[in-house]
Amino acid sequence: MSNMLEIRWHGRGGQGAKTASLLLAEAAFDTGKFIQGFPEYGPERMGAPITAYNRISDERCPIHSNIYEPDYVVVVDETLLDVVNVTAGLKETGAIVINTPKSPEEIKDKLNGYNGGVYTIDAREISMATLGRYFPNTPMLAAVVKVAKIMDDDTLVEAMEKSFHHKFANKPHVIAPNMEALKRSLTEVKAHE
């Protein structure tokens, strides 16, 4: 399946990495793709490192294992770089997207000599500025969509607007700040190729 995109998410329990992977699956689904979105379940609790996965393809993906050689890796929490081997198996033709205020050049040392694309986004700053609370998943979702060119900006914005209206039907006041976080992230993600 040459057209298949595999993404691995690293986060901490409670930060919404699983939700972000499901939102990404949903957005890609809305553009007509076949998707898989699944976390690696365990007894983990708030703060424990967790992993979630996405497969996005033009035809149904038959594989039902975890992802060992992802095209892209998303790190939702910078402190995980010291704890988890986040670049394990990551293809050099792909990229890693990290939530950090640092530049890609500054963070590169911590990536075990990874030579693929390195992108950073200050999801904490964006989240605090737009939502007033620390929910990094929306900006991280936007960043990986941008980096992996999963869909164009307008399509993502449209898909997420729809999805947030459904997801936040009971708290509509958070829709606009989430959309703002999404849009900022699309423009602010920094590259080091």
Partner 1 sequence: MAIRDKLSGNEAVAVAMRQINPDVVAAFPITPSTEIPQYFSAFVANGQVDTEFVPVESEHSAMSACIGAGTAGARTMTATSANGLALMWEMLYIAASCKLPMVLSVVNRALSGPINIHNDHSDSMGARDSGWIQLYGENNQEAYDNAIMAVRIAEHADVQLPVMNCYDGFITSHAVENIELIEDDKVKAFVGQYKPSTYMLNSDEQIAVGPLAVPTHYFEHKRQQAESMRNSKEVIVEVAKAFKEISGREYGLFEAYKMEDAERAIVLIGSSVGTAKFVVDALREKGEKVGLIKVRVFRPFPAEELAQSLKGVKTVAILDKCDGFNAKGGPLFSETTSALFVNGYTPLAVNYIYGLGGRDVKTTDIEKVYSDLSEIVTANKVEDPYRYLGVVEA
Residues 74, 41: contact at Cβ < 8 Å? no
Nearer to partner 1, 22 or 150 (CB): 22
- Give the CA distances from residue 164 to residues 99, 111, 138, 153, in Å, rounded to whole numbers and listed in that order: 22, 34, 10, 16
Residue of the chain from 9, 10, 19, 37 that contacts partner 1 (CB under 8 A) = 37
Residue of the chain from 66, 79, 85, 103 that contacts partner 1 (CB under 8 A) = 66
- Interface stretch with partner 1, choices 33-41, 115-123, 147-155, 168-176 (CB under 8 A): 33-41
The sign one gets for the Cα dihedral 49, 40, 167, 122 is: positive
Nearer to partner 1, 32 or 113 (CB): 32
Residue 65 binds partner 1 (CB under 8 A) = yes
Q: Nearest distance from residue 100's CB to partner 1, in Å?
A: 28
Residue 45 binds partner 1 (CB under 8 A) = no
**Dihedral pair phi/psi, residue 5, rounded to 5°:** -110, 130
Residue 124 binds partner 1 (CB under 8 A) = no
Number of residues assigned to the chain: 193
Beta bridge partners, 53, equal 8, 38
Residue 165 binds partner 1 (CB under 8 A) = no
Residue 179 binds partner 1 (CB under 8 A) = no
Dihedral of CA atoms 66, 119, 32, 169 in degrees, nearest 10, equals 90
| Contacting residues toward partner 1, per CB under 8 A | 1, 22, 25-26, 29, 34-39, 41, 43, 60-66, 68
